[in-house]
Amino acid sequence: MSIISERPEGGEEQPLRAARGGRNGLTQRQQRRLDLAARAAWLYYVAGKTQDEIAARLNVSRPGAQRLVSLAVAEGLIKFRIDHPIAACVELSERLRVERGLDYCEVVPGDPDSPDGVTGIAVCAAERIESYLSSRVPTVMAFGTGRTLRAAVAQVTAMDNPQHKIVSLVGNLTRDGRASPYDVVMRLADRVGAQCYPLPTPVVIETAEAKALLQAQRPFQTIRGLVSAARVAFVGVGGVGWNEPLHKDGFVTDEELAALLEHQAVGEICGWAFDAEGRLIRSPLSERLGAVPLSLLPERSIVAVACGRAKVPAIAAALRGRLIAGLITDEATAHALLAA
């Protein structure tokens, strides 16, 4: 028995499972589209949202929202309840969004065999990135760095959109001058044909005087202007501790890490450390950080892409301090954040 009172306008969608012989026969992108359709169906039939509201929430066009709901119908997801594991994720994302004051939140199903894996949120983040890149209006997008964002960029569909600008929030060089292996802006810009603006400085600069000299140069001033005009910023959230990425990858020394811990740092975004309440920490290290200040970004523009048990304290702190306006994470992390 169905709960459907009317079929949404917008035409029929070809069932994915019928075409590919079941969910296990779907590609990862087709699975992700099925997940998005289930989310749209939950918002439409359970939460009572209009198709315009769904389009705004999922960052798709109104016809796109109609097609997603139609796809959920075609796939048989609409019964007394959504017969799909994403339903629990939708409820989690709505709770996180409301209880933690987010503008946008998406929770993806976790993999019990790989609780710290990032593939699921990488695919989700890629689709969110693509939703901005699909605009014909020239758009500035800012990015942090890290393993998770690099995985997300690898999932972005190749396209040719030279009207967009991709700008980095953090330096792309290590202390000894090597290119950072986790820089994403050049990879993404090359993949989508966008204009690329990397930040040509080390993550941590040797002295405050050297930082002032570098940031006085025209390339940095250009990047500051672009960042202040960014429509969205995608960032990772890292922990602050021994063998956490900021330390393990050599961006901070043992002494600098010890100083951050003395300041009660629990997390960092683009190198900017913060305490358990999400308050940014001023320290000798922050005076030499080459990253663009997060305060330059337009208000409520930062979307964090992060998951994993080790990152829960850092993500929870970022939420408390309202450092982020959006979050893409997985089920296990979402449950932990709601309990934090």
pLDDT band at 251 (very low <50, low <70, confident <90, very high): confident
- Segment 30-56, tens digit of pLDDT: 888 888 898 898 888 878 889 999 999
DSSP SS3 for 175: coil
- Where in the chain do CATH 1.10.10.10 domains reside? 16-83
Structure tokens at 138: 């020239």
Helices 147-155/185-192 angle, 10° precision: 0
Give the H/E segment covering residue 234.
strand 232-235
CB within 8 A of 187, min separation 6: which ones?
150, 153, 154
Separation CA 202–CA 289 (nearest Å): 8
Give the H/E segment covering residue 211.
helix 208-215
**Is the Cβ–Cβ distance between 237 and 318 less than 8 Å?**
yes
Range ranked top by mean pLDDT from 47-51, 143-147, 228-232, 243-247: 228-232
| pLDDT in the model for residue 246 | 82
**Is the Cβ–Cβ distance between 97 and 104 less than 8 Å?**
yes
Q: How many CB atoms lie within 10 A of CB 1?
A: 5
Report the chain's terminal Cα–Cα distance, integer Å. Answer: 39
**Is the Cβ–Cβ distance between 143 and 169 less than 8 Å?**
yes
What CATH class has 16-83? Answer: mainly alpha
- Where in the chain do CATH 3.40.50.1360 domains reside? 92-339
What CATH class has 92-339? Answer: alpha beta
Separation CA 270–CA 203 (nearest Å): 9
pTM here is 0.78
**Is the Cβ–Cβ distance between 51 and 294 less than 8 Å?**
no
The string of DSSP codes covering 235-264 is: E--EE-STTSHHHHTTSS-HHHHHHHHHTT
| pLDDT in the model for residue 15 | 55
Residue 179 has pLDDT above 80, yes or no: no
